[in-house]
Amino acid sequence: MTDRQQTGYHMSPEDFRRHGHALVDWIAAYWQRVESLPVRSRAAPGEVAAALPGSAPERGEPFAAMLEDVERVILPGLTHWQSPNFFAYFPANTSAPSVLGELLAAGLGVQGMLWATSPACTELETRVLDWLAELLGLPAAFRSDGGGGGVIQDSASGAALCALLAARERASDGAANERGCDRRLTAYASTETHSSIEKAVKIAGLGREQLRIIPVDDHFAMDAGALARQMAADVAAGFTPAFVCATVGTTSSTAVDPVAAIAAVARRFGAWLHVDAAMAGSAMICPEFRALQAGVEQADSYCFDPHKWLFTNFDCSCLFVRERGALIRALSVLPEYLRNRASESGAVIDYRDWHVPLGRRFRALKLWFVLRHYGAEGLRHHLREHVRLARWFADQVAVHPDFELAAPVPFNLVCFRHRGGDAGSEALLERLNGSGRLYLTHTRLDGRFTLRLCVGQTHTEASHVEAAWAAIRAAAEGTAAPAG
């Protein structure tokens, strides 16, 4: 019998084994050679699309043909986020145990919308998020055995939206659920807060005019005094402060908002405090960083992304809430076809009520594999090493006559400039990224063009950061040379 007679058009178990092993080999080999590939993709717009057929195939093709096209068509169109010379944006790092957990989740293919649809999918997630709350030194109230708990979301953006919806629900005593958003609710963020908060405010129906943008100090951290004055003015004008976002590690420069001072203001005005530690939250596994988020005990919700800097591939964002009731009231609806005895008993968690989608995949598996493979000790080792390398780089910049630091370096991101000004820094960046040897991105701080170097790819080591610094100095000499 041929395979096709046995399995219809499906891939046979034997072929799956064969191709699966080949694919794992391909990934392992990719990780070994990725360092030699140009980090930023050189593909021109439309180039990848032009290499693909205009229609789906009528007849099935062999797996080998797909793998060949991955090599031929896809690879040149990739920016290699897993290159140890990737220093751009924030990392989206991954690791072998994470990829294996992802593969297993796909193979099991369970849909964990309710406890009843796969008890292990829910209970593993609850347990792993409790582990993480403890590892990060978060308040006990954020654990599932307190009044709160954690949930895996698709992104920090989705998590912020859910926190805002819970805050809206709490500030309106449930009226927002019934009659739509009360136009008198206000939300607060700083000039440096991630754009996802503005997006959440739009989606939640508060309206952008109800989002107050608070100024920052000269280290790009929110001015808590200005926040208090704004809230007082809003209350006097008949508004209800409902939500404030404090950031630990802003996207632009990893600035750290004064969480304790912001928490005191939020509490005085009855506003929900969300702490967005999307990237820097991972560092809290190392106790020496926790002073930077002192005051987190007062927060209503906290979010960080293991898919940025905790060796867990995208997507995996963790949202912790102090009081799960507000979140669940904001997001729960119950159609007849989802009714079941376990849910009605109140003895189980149904995570569908903790985020926007109904369906959910088994993302806790990869996080569980990562935590068990590395152990807390292994995670601390690698995070500390990344921070050490970033500080080493910052020290070189600080003493070099042609460069200057543009912001403090509390974690793994260095913001710096060429003293030649915006045009010089911009030309330097293009020259570096065009070389393919490394990839950095930029931001603007105090209105000035600023280069960012973030150390966070899983396999970035001292040699890569040293080579980056050498390349930057060499490119600066080239850039500074008189044109023509």
Ligand X SMILES: *Cc1c(COP(=O)(O)O)cnc(C)c1O
Q: Do you know the residue count of the chain?
A: 484
- Say whether residue 299 binds ligand X (CB under 6 A): no
Contact residue for ligand X among 80, 168, 170, 194 (CB under 6 A):
194
Of residues 257, 276, 323, 350, which one binds ligand X by CB under 6 A? 276
Q: How far is the CB of 276 from ligand X (least distance, A)?
A: 5
CB contact at 8 A, 152 and 324: no
The yes or no reply on residue 192 touching ligand X (CB under 6 A) is no
Residue 156 as a binder of ligand X (CB under 6 A): the answer is yes
Q: Which is nearer to ligand X, 156 or 227 (CB)?
A: 156
Please tell me whether residue 305 binds ligand X under the rule CB under 6 A: yes
- Assess 151 for contact with ligand X (CB under 6 A): no
Nearest residue (CB) to ligand X, 230 versus 282: 282
How many residues belong to the site for ligand X (CB under 6 A)? 14
> At 272, which helix (H) or strand (E)?
strand 272-276
278 binds ligand X (CB under 6 A): yes
State the minimum distance, in angstroms, from the CB of residue 358 to ligand X.
20
Rounding to the nearest 10 degrees, give the CA dihedral for residues 165, 166, 170, 173.
Answer: 60
Token pair for 6: 């046995």
At closest approach, how far in Å is the CB of 95 from ligand X?
18
How many angstroms separate the CA atoms of 471 and 276, rounded?
34
Shortest CB 178 distance to ligand X, Å: 29
Alpha-carbon gap, residue 125 to 118, rounded angstroms: 12
Which range touches ligand X (CB under 6 A), out of 124-132, 155-163, 180-188, 476-484?
A: 155-163
CB of 279 to ligand X, least distance (A): 5
Q: Which of 265, 243, 269, 228 is nearest to 169 (CA)?
A: 243
Residue 479: which of 393, 402, 399 has the closest Cα? 402
DSSP β-ladder status, 413-418 and 403-405: antiparallel
241 vs 456 by CB, closer to ligand X? 456
Distance CA 454, CA 465 (A): 10
- Which residues 90-129 are close enough to bind ligand X by CB under 6 A? 90
Candidate residues 196, 253, 443, 460; the one interacting with ligand X per rule CB under 6 A: 196
Stretch near ligand X under the rule CB under 6 A, chosen from 1-9, 118-126, 151-159, 327-335: 151-159
* In the complex, minimum distance from the CB of residue 466 to ligand X, in angstroms, rounded to a whole number: 26
Establish whether the linkage from the previous residue to 422 is cis, with ω within 30° of 0.
Answer: no
Measured CA to CA, the distance from residue 430 to residue 286 in angstroms comes to: 35
The least distance separating ligand X from the CB of residue 462, rounded to whole angstroms, comes to 25
Q: Is 454 in the site for ligand X (CB under 6 A)?
A: no
Listed as own residue / partner, the contacts of 229-237 with beta carbons closer than 8 Å and 24 or more positions apart are: 230/188, 231/186, 231/188, 231/265, 231/268, 231/269, 231/271, 232/269, 234/186, 235/269
DSSP 153: E
- What does the per-residue mask of binding to ligand X show for 223-262, with x meaning CB under 6 A? ------------------------x--xx-----------
Q: Which CB sits closer to ligand X, 247 or 343?
A: 247
Picking from 215, 213, 234, the residue whose alpha carbon sits closest to that of residue 225 is 215
Give the integer Cα–Cα distance in Å for 387 and 91.
13
- Please identify, using beta-carbon distances, which residue of 115 and 272 lies nearer to ligand X: 272
What are 447's two structure tokens? 């209105």
> Which residues of this protein are in contact with ligand X, per CB under 6 A?
90, 155-157, 194, 196, 247, 250-251, 276, 278-279, 305, 317
